[in-house]
Chains A and B, each alone.
Chain A
Amino acid sequence: MIGTFFALVAKELIGFFRSWGLVAVVLYSFTLDIYITGAGIEMQAKNIAVGYVDETGGGMSGKILSRLHMPEFQKPVMFTSREALSRSIYNREIMVGLIFESDFEKNLKKYGRSSIDMLLDSVAATQSFQALQYLQNILLGYAHIGIPVELKIHKLFNPNATTSQFMAMAEMLSVITLLGVILTAALFVREKENGTWDIMLLMPIDPKLIILAKSFSQVLIIMGGVVIATGIVLFGVFDVPINGSIAAFFLLSFFYAFTSAGIGLFVAAVSKSMLQVAQLSILIMMPLIFLSGAWTPIHAMHPLLQKLSLISPLRYYIEGSESIFFRGTDFTDLWSYFAGVIVLGSVLYFYGFRKIGRLF
């Protein structure tokens, strides 16, 4: 029984390592793909091109412009007319345009108040609104309105507020989900495509053992990927802190890998070809990832979607992992995340198991 189980697992692992294309895809997903997401998706305002038209002839306007500097802003570019500035924004050469009207400084001195026209290319919404916020802060510094309250900000868990660390982690968790589903489904569907399915059915072996061994072998591959991604990409490249127990994270990942394998079993049961596996996996994965809070914080979602996100196992996995890496939550306080992953995971795995078991 145990011997047969390991023979089945070994066969799948040999098959995996022999197909170098598959190995390459898995390695890419667990390293470069996560790196690109972490390094490439930049939500912070950075390197913003600023243009201005100054009709005042310097003074106050110059002081304000001098506060726009690297890394958030490029050196402001002067334009001679509003039309030229508008054209540049239209051509996407400039993201933020400032217009100091001729009476800007006069009004400021005379009445103590004035206004600046600001043109924003808000296609890249997050970045342009962050730029707006920066500018407001700069202007606030000159306003001397004198509210006697000062904000002292303590950034918790991610003191530099770098999004790349969180993005890299979230991407890794999405990769685990996607590969867990596709690899498991592929294992069964490849047998259907190659005609070995019938041979498998005729083995004098309990089908349950075959299903269990096959999905377990893919969980092992995923876990290998998790170790590589955590060690090399998260810790090595992005310096993600580990404030909690790394063992707890691996344990949570292990349960989660079974969850995605369960979805994979379902996909395998209803697909006849690899093309269908790819289509179905994407169809199932997308809502799962969007509802998980990987890309949008859950508190920012529509209330209905917030409720729906409760049934995405990825939500518990992401929140749990976040707590382990950044918040350093104690193992004993992680139970709710473990419970979420295990309960939803068992339901999904059991369903997939039953579904594919019926084909035997």
Chain B
Amino acid sequence: MAELEIRGVTVKHGGITAVKDASIYAERGEIIGLIGADGAGKSSLMHAAAGVIRFEGEIVFGGTSFDSPREAERLKPKIGLMPQGIGLVLYKNLTVSEHLSFFSKIRSLKEDAALNDYKQRLLKMAGLERFTERPAGKLSGGMMQKLSLICTLIHRPSLLILDEPTTGVDPLSRLELWKILEEISESEGTVTLMSTAYMQEAEKMDRVYLFDSGTIIASGTAEELNETVKEYVYEPVACRSDRCIAAGHYTYSLDPLEAPHKEPTLEALFFINALKRGVEIPEIEVSERESEEPIPQVVMEAKGLTKRFGDFVADDHIDMELKSGEILGLLGANGAGKTTFIKMLLGLYPIDDGELVLLGRPIRSAKDRQGLKARIGYVSQHFSLYKDMTVRENLLYFASMHGIDAKKASSRIDRYAKELGFASYMDSLPTELPLGINQRFSVAAALLHEPVVLFLDEPTSGVDAIARSQFWQMLKLLKRKWGIAILITTHYMSEAEYCDRVVLLKEGRKVADDSVENLYKKHPAAKSFEEIFLHYYEDGR
């Protein structure tokens, strides 16, 4: 019998089934990955395994079986759980060493030389030995996650449950987190269950389970899984049947195509699964804009933009230019200064230093912006729209705010709904929508007044693979048909592939700014963007 066996576990949250009949097993020392979009059921299953929520089914760990949080109580000393969210388990006023002693005290560990040695070892692995006196609140996002991880490891758990420990963390810290995990599972034989938003991490895992709307659709090593879909994956070509999807750099088809095959990634499994289940994936369309207003060549020009919060410099003298007909990706880890930069451009934060020219007009005061608001579209993080109004009501409200007359507004709204594939959700509340639909509907709200520039703040976080590919398709069409400029922030380095040009931010400073092609030329050895960015991160240290 395996060390960890999860047998037919179903988790319900107030009538809604989050996970259905999931089974997972893991041997000693294995790192098991749970992969899927937000709301696919990963967190629920991990919380069930950690014995903190109720579930149906059975979980056996190290020969001890439990089917309720009460019975799991006996196993708690053996379990370590790190919940989702950067620095969530930390106390920002406690120092690194105070954290370690706090966590060893609440675990009632014996304060002896062995514990001290172990602490030193953990600190060394995390690269935190020089920062033991620094308060957690003053650590970078990557350091916070490393500290959270070693605090979770302090009682030497034999089952380690990590909920998206690497999301939003810079690539270098992500590698270091992985090193800690690999070392611990090898030396301690710890079973690790972790979820991740990065498909590339799957390659390092002993086995991955792919989640799609509450069910496990596939499992195996990354290599095995890719093998199962290999025959369906092609170089990008147009599709002719509904058993085929063209998605960005790939085309997936159940029927053979006359095109060269391409090496698949795990994302392919989600597409193939959807095709096999006959899920209808709406084709994204965008028609020409109605307005004939000319778009200036240079939409935004920033020189030395700086934002300070007290001693902390969020953005340090950043230069940037955005041209029409261009998708500019602003990349960086959490806390790199992406959102702050966009908020400065929009006037939501005052600019502390530097010059900004928007749509040909130098911005010095709020008055300079008033006239420009009608030409700018903005989608904020987490797609904040009005939760108590339906999709249609939201869109009508935004249209009337932009002074679009009612008849024109409703025909435009109907057209967007059809083209962007959310027509069947018009009378639902935003909270009832799948994340991918919510994402496109939010963009529709920002497009109603046909802006000449679109600012998108982390629009792809947590969205499933299919919706994400539809989203990029939409942006590409907008660029081509409307010729507008698009500035998008993301912490998924792999999404750089979809941009024309990328700017990489690291701790408030710009470390790279080049077209995607040039970056590839400069780093011929790199297999993916992930690796290119790693160079810039390492150089900056």
Chain A residues with a Cβ under 8 A of chain B: 3-4, 7-8, 11, 14-15, 18-19, 194-196, 198-199, 201-205
Contact = CB atoms under 8 A, between A and B. Distances in A.
Contacts of A14: 388-389, 393
Contact of B401 (A15, A19, A203): A203
A267 B254 CA distance: 60
A201 B388 CA distance: 19
Given A4-B400, A11-B397, A203-B402, A195 B370 contact: no
Given A11-B397, A194-B384, A195-B381, A202 B389 contact: no
Nearest to B429: A18
Given A199-B380, A204-B370, 18 more contacts: A4-B400, A7-B400, A11-B389, A11-B393, A15-B386, A194-B386, A195-B381, A195-B382, A198-B346, A198-B348, A198-B380, A199-B378, A202-B348, A202-B373, A202-B376, A203-B402, A204-B373, A205-B401
B363 to A, nearest CB: 14
A261 B397 CA distance: 23
Task: Give 8 nearest A-B pairs by CB, closest first.
Answer: A195-B384, A204-B373, A7-B400, A18-B388, A204-B374, A15-B388, A203-B401, A196-B384
Contact of B403 (A4, A11, A199, A202): A4
B81 interface: no
Most buried by A among B343, B346, B403, B449: B403
Interface in B361-387: 370-371, 373-374, 376, 378, 380-382, 384-387
B404 to A, nearest CB: 11
A201 B384 CA distance: 13
Contact of B397 (A3, A7, A19, A202): A7
A198 B382 contact: no
Nearest to A195: B384
Contacts of B385: 196, 199
Contact of A7 (B374, B378, B381, B401): B401
Contacts of A11: 386, 389, 393, 397
A11 B400 CA distance: 11
Nearest to A194: B384
Contacts of A203: 373, 401-402
A205 B376 CA distance: 13
For the residues of A in contact with B, the DSSP-based class is helix
Contacts of B370: 204
B386 to A, nearest CB: 6
Interface of B: 343, 346-348, 370-371, 373-374, 376, 378, 380-382, 384-389, 393, 397, 400-403, 449
Contacts of A4: 400-401, 403
Contacts of A198: 343, 346, 348, 378, 380, 384
B402 A15 contact: no
A4 B401 CA distance: 6
A196 B442 CA distance: 12
A358 to B, nearest CB: 11
A336 B125 CA distance: 77
A195 B380 contact: yes
A19 B386 CA distance: 12
Nearest to A14: B389
Contacts of A3: 400
Of listed A7, A14, A204, residue having the most chain B CB within 10 A: A204
A19 B402 contact: no
24 contacts: A4-B400, A7-B397, A7-B400, A7-B401, A11-B389, A14-B389, A14-B393, A15-B386, A19-B388, A194-B384, A195-B380, A195-B384, A196-B384, A198-B343, A198-B380, A198-B384, A199-B378, A201-B348, A202-B346, A202-B373, A203-B401, A204-B370, A204-B373, A204-B401
Contacts of A7: 397, 400-401
Nearest to A10: B397
Given A4-B403, A199-B384, A15 B378 contact: no
B340 to A, nearest CB: 13
A304 B421 CA distance: 68
A196 B380 CA distance: 8
A204 B401 CA distance: 7
A231 to B, nearest CB: 28
Contacts of B449: 204
Contacts of B401: 4, 7-8, 203-205
A313 to B, nearest CB: 31
Contacts of B387: 194
Nearest to B393: A14
Nearest to A16: B388
Contacts of B373: 202-204
A338 B403 CA distance: 38
Nearest to B342: A198
A103 B118 CA distance: 92
Nearest to A18: B388
